[in-house]
Chain A
Amino acid sequence: AQKVTQAQTEISVVEKEDVTLDCVYETRDTTYYLFWYKQPPSGELVFLIRRNSFDEQNEISGRYSWNFQKSTSSFNFTITASQVVDSAVYFCALRGGYSTLTFGKGTMLLVSP
C-alpha cells in the first residue's frame, strides 16, 4: 500500500519569507515517482514537478526548490521569497509500478502582504 503524509495542514507566512512544505511517503515499490501539484482557489491542479526514485538530485526552478531524500522518504518543497500569488493548496503525490496516483491531504499556504 502507498501512503503520502503532509503533516502541515496550514501554513501562514508574510510575503518574502521562505517556506518549506513537508512530504513523507511510504511505498514498497523500488521504482516510483513523486509529484507536487498546486491547487489555487479556482480548483485546477497545476503540475509543478515530477521526481523519479532513482534520481536524488535536488532541483531548483526559479523561486521553487525540491529536496528529495530516499533515506528519510521525504520530498520537501521550498518556496523562496514567497509572494501573495503563491497562496494555494499544495499536494504531494506518489505513484509506483502499477499502482495509482496517491495524494496527500494537502497543505494550505497563505501568504499575506
Chain B
Amino acid sequence: DAGVTQSPTHLIKTRGQQVTLRCSPKSGHDTVSWYQQALGQGPQFIFQYYEEEERQRGNFPDRFSGHQFPNYSSELNVNALLLGDSALYLCASSWGGGAQETQYFGPGTRLLVL
C-alpha cells in the first residue's frame, strides 16, 4: 500500500521564479492538504483540495495556488518566489477531509529560494 508521495524531493530556485510541487495521495484517499514548514516551526496550513475544488485556505497570498486532478493527485504552484518561501512543503492526504479524519503526510519537498 503506497503512502503519500511527493516530487521533487529538493528544489533550488531564484527569487521571482515560479515553482510547481506535486503530490500523490495514499491509496483510497480523495483529499489533499498542503502545508509549509519553516525551519524550527510547526507546519502551517496552505489549502485543502477535495473533489478538484479548493475547500479551505489558510493565510497565504494568492501567489500560492493549487490544483487537484481527477485521480486525486495535486499540485502546489508558487509564483514570484521570495526568499521567505524557502521551507519544507508537506502534502497530506485523507479520506473525505472531515475534522475527524487523520491526515497522512508525505516526505515533503525542500525548497530553497536564492
Contacts and interface: CB of A to CB of B under 8 A. Distances in A.
Contacts of B104: 47
Contacts of B88: 43
Contacts of B44: 103
Interface string A40-54: 001111110010100
B48 A100 contact: yes
B42 interface: yes
Contact of B99 (A33, A42, A47): A33
A30 to B, nearest CB: 12
A35 B102 contact: yes
A102 B90 CA distance: 14
Interface residues of A, number: 28
B66 interface: no
A106 B42 contact: yes
B99 A44 contact: no
Contacts of B25: none
B105 interface: yes
Interface string B85-114: 000101010000001101111111010000
B105 A95 contact: no
Contact of B108 (A33, A44, A100): A44
B99 A96 contact: yes
A93 B101 CA distance: 13
Interface in A79-109: 91, 93, 95-106
A103 B43 contact: yes
Nearest to A42: B107
Nearest to A95: B99
B99 A99 contact: yes
B71 interface: no
B108 A43 contact: yes
Given A42-B107, A43-B107, A43-B108, A104 B42 contact: yes
A35 B108 CA distance: 19
Closest A-B pairs by Cβ, 8 of them: A103-B42, A45-B105, A100-B45, A44-B107, A43-B108, A95-B99, A105-B42, A103-B43
